[in-house]
Amino acid sequence: MLNIALLSRGPSLYSTQSLFRAARNRGHYVRIIDHGQISLLIEQGVPQVVYEGGKLVGMDAVIPRIGASVTDYGAAIIRQFELMEVYTATRSEALIMARDKLKCLQILSASGISVPKTVIAGVPEALPRLIDMLGGTPVVVKMLESTHGVGVVLAESRNTAVSIVEAFTKLGQPVILQEYIQEAAGADVRAFVVGKRVVASMLRQAQAGEFRSNLHRGASATLTELSPEEEQTVLQAARLMNLEIAGVDILRSNRGPLVMEVNASPGLEGIETTTKVDIAGAIIENLERGVEKYAGRRKR
Ligand SMILES: Nc1ncnc2c1ncn2[C@@H]1O[C@H](COP(=O)(O)OP(=O)(O)O)[C@@H](O)[C@H]1O
Ligand SMILES: [Mg+2]
């Protein structure tokens, strides 16, 4: 039996509930802890986590479900658990890296993973040439901090692209520009990785007249099988990001699968309901193995 801390700001969220139940069903003690209420005590040799007026002790493992708005503090909390030698399902450094879209794309592409061709403009004057380098319009303009597709815009013309970049820049939002993968036809594939396996995958199809296939944008999800090439790409991407649990999104392009992003805290609702796979169960099972291996390493 493990003593598990489930870090979540929303005790009633589907993902939280699903993980909570899965941990219980496998005989573990699990507590949902709101990381927004956690304080950290930093002192030489005795790192501590303070919650509800007391110190958290006796944890075997944490499962972080950290939202994008609190990545930095969330990562600091995970790091504190790491310093206390508590096993974590997601490492603090991995969370930080995965949340940095630009760094993600740099690392993946440098390791031979195909990604949509992407540029970031140092100066606005460079934009027309950079758009040429992407193969011309249409291009996708993406806020680096975009989530749920909000901050992802399709620019049909060069002038529109430049105007959108100017607007975002004025608002202090850095953006990247990407070649538009037209043949994906408003669909992408979400593959869910747990440990060294893809445990489930679904095709998300955008609503009519929309190119963003986020479920939050009303896209519909169906089952899909990954090709061997897709599966290999997905597993390699998760491994490069140092993630045991990852939602890897790929676009099906004419030149094979392109990795768009790697999500460090992927939601369970859409994919569990679509695929009927017990992903939470797989996560807990993987956690058990992780804790065991980690304890073995510490003893030596
Ligand atoms: N380069 C692209 N070509 C075609 N479609 C894209 C491209 N980039 C993003 N999309 C579509 O827009 C959606 C949202 O983009 P994404 O980069 O995942 O942003 P977010 O992090 O906000 O979800 C994707 O799921 C995909 O359907
Ligand atoms: Mg996305």
pLDDT (tens digit, 9 = 90+) per residue, 232-259? 999 999 999 999 999 999 999 999 999 9
Q: So what's the pLDDT on residue 45?
A: 87
Please check whether residue 262 is in contact with residue 104, taking contact to mean a CB–CB distance below 8 angstroms.
yes
Please check whether residue 71 is in contact with residue 64, taking contact to mean a CB–CB distance below 8 angstroms.
no
Percentage of residues in the chain having pLDDT higher than 90: 96
Residue 44's contacts (CB-CB under 8 Å, 6 or more residues apart) are none
Where in the chain is CATH 3.40.50.20?
A: 3-90+281-299
Could you tell which of 104, 137, 142 is best to mutate to test the pocket of ligand 1, judged by most ligand atoms within 8 Å of the CB?
142
Q: What is the mean pLDDT of residues 16-42?
A: 98
Ligand nearest to the CA of 175: 1
DSSP conformation class of 260? E
Q: So what's the pLDDT on residue 299?
A: 72
Find, among 118, 90, 293, 114, the residue nearest to 194 by Cα. Answer: 90
Homologous superfamily (CATH) of 118-180 is ATP-grasp fold, A domain (3.30.1490.20)
Any idea which fold 98-114+184-264 has?
D-amino Acid Aminotransferase; Chain A, domain 1 (3.30.470)
Find, among 13, 6, 194, 32, the residue nearest to 86 by Cα. Answer: 6
- Would the pLDDT of 139 be above 70? yes
Q: So what's the pLDDT on residue 297?
A: 84
Please check whether residue 152 is in contact with residue 210, taking contact to mean a CB–CB distance below 8 angstroms.
no
Q: So what's the pLDDT on residue 300?
A: 65
Q: So what's the pLDDT on residue 162?
A: 96
Using CB atoms within 10 A of its CB, is residue 82 exposed (0-12), middle (13-18) or buried (19+)?
middle
Atom 13 (ligand 1): residue with closest C-alpha?
Answer: 212
> What number does CATH give the domain 3-90+281-299?
3.40.50.20
Q: Is residue 152 in contact with ligand 1, taking CB distance under 6 Å? A: yes
Find, among 62, 108, 101, the residue nearest to 242 by Cα. Answer: 108
* Residue 292 neighbours by CB distance under 10 Å: 12
Q: So what's the pLDDT on residue 145?
A: 87
Where in the chain is CATH 3.30.1490.20?
A: 118-180
Query: What would the pLDDT profile of 155-186 be if each residue is shown by its tens digit?
Result: 999 999 999 999 999 999 999 999 999 999 99
Where in the chain is CATH 3.30.470.20?
A: 98-114+184-264
Q: What is the mean pLDDT of residues 22-36?
A: 98
Q: Is residue 28 in contact with ligand 1, taking CB distance under 6 Å? A: no
- Would the pLDDT of 122 be above 70? yes
Return mean pLDDT, the chain: 96
